[in-house]
Structure 1
């Protein structure tokens, strides 16, 4: 019988010396030992019986464990061992003395390098070498505590590198989640540092991230009497939180409103990989109304004077100024920061799903970038929850937050 989230939350260790095993099918099982719960998958490769470490529950929820099990079976059908290569995996997972944070971070960088620019890898390496490893490098990865990371970040804050401190916190979280996938650590401890750092000063892309202020912005947008194309773009900006250039250059041929999906071609994306945007019911309704106006042309948001070109890059920012939101307060690009902040810190959505939806590169346990359809059902549900939440904010309702079950 397949496992359920209710069972996973309630199951307790019975005291068996080898741990308690509970099968979910397709060789995937939960190993319960002491106070810990681990995902494992048994398989045969090269004539040998092997076990794949998938991660720990609840950091790796049931749906993700099943996805990783499915990915492993796909690799096996191709004749590929789903177990990370020993040359990249490093020491055995239980060897805490050798599994230092420095070694884990180096393995993470090695996995990251093929899919990122040299400049990005150089920046990450500099942060590690100058700020993180002098404090955390020699510690076993499994022993890292929130206060250890906080000590690193506070040193950066004291020299005024507040924005970098937030980025380094995010980087440490990615490294620790990579460690979870390898079986080196039990969980990512960086969420425990929520609110411990000073707020990031306003940068080039101003954004409203406080729910009460977002509610006022949404009411202003829905009361705007501007051009129908701009009004639709304004309404869709918080719902979709794509980059402004991706939104204004959208073409009707990229949308399947019956399936509620928008496939943005790789050529239009910053990372040059096709991006799939699940559309909430509210987004589909706005697009269907706009389709009656611009559906005969190529662009969803055509220019005011010429239909054969898309809307001006300044149209949304100009509309925000007309609504009374100066550039220091809100920008077209700021809808991405708005969604990223509230989805994570208020709604408690999974960070990896948010990063996927922002079209940031997210790595699987084997260091490969996920494809455009990764976690699509979960992302679709998240986008609908986000749209419903925005509706509640705009209506002025007292929002009772219920965190999604992972």
Structure 2
């Protein structure tokens, strides 16, 4: 005799467990605790088994019968509903561990952290991952379709960040290839959608290449009314023209006061080789002033909120914006282009000496190997000449054209 909803509600709670049958193997188990649970009894290969459908009334009579019918169809097709449920739970658990987020984090740990990439490079990889976390981060990497990834990248593109979208796609492609290598997925959907993204508009980092304009900027930096740490960073960067990330992560134990050299370790440079920066007396003076503020810390330029972390990535550029210099006029990275252009225009220095000062690589491997140990004395002289030239520009008045300074010692 089939159960009815009204009588299920009226089943009393007794001191012992009892069961009330519906039909075709479905029954309700009434427990002393007051709970009423649905079960389906069936046989597979001569063995009796039972499958739980959950508690009443969360699972109604009609829903329990529907689940029973599904289970009966599975049994007729030769499947064991209980084993199928266990397989789904295992698959779900494995999928959670093989999400795009978890595979990407493993990729970063193996390829970036494990290979001792620069901290700025590791941060950039995590930044790319952050653009995808919300859309596909929790998805099993093996289930992600090209359209899903494209939708996430198009969101970035519509925000006007074409280059970020392209570079995020390239990062995702590396994660998928890592997943393929680890047998966690079979394909790289990122490789199929490159042509569906708009090409980025090529922009060179803004830099002042005009001596008069550079002098104006240097004077404005000296008059900056913000914090002294950021101010000294802005003052020092034109003299040493290193990459902004190399400046941010500079530590006091890298400065050799006696030799007047700042030695940047290989793991913080773009080319993964040590880079030595000769320090002019102007640079030394600025560092001595900075030591009064941060000399007791590890970082030359610690963050505002915590001295355990370096200065914010955008601190210098934000200071330029507050000073009234827009991003299409001045950037922290732009001082490298400024130095490269004006040093080359001076005609005083060997191009290789300038390239070594900029820590650029060489396309010619033999020439690069030879040049690594060359031009140090010239670079020391060039560093002092460059700082003196910046001082002359900063004084103002009549700006001496760069070509007339060729004979100046």
* TM-score, normalisation: structure 1: 0.48
The structure with more radius of gyration: 2
* TM-score, normalisation: structure 2: 0.48
More helix by share: 2
Relative CO higher for 1 or 2, CA cutoff 8 Å, sep ≥ 6?
Answer: 1
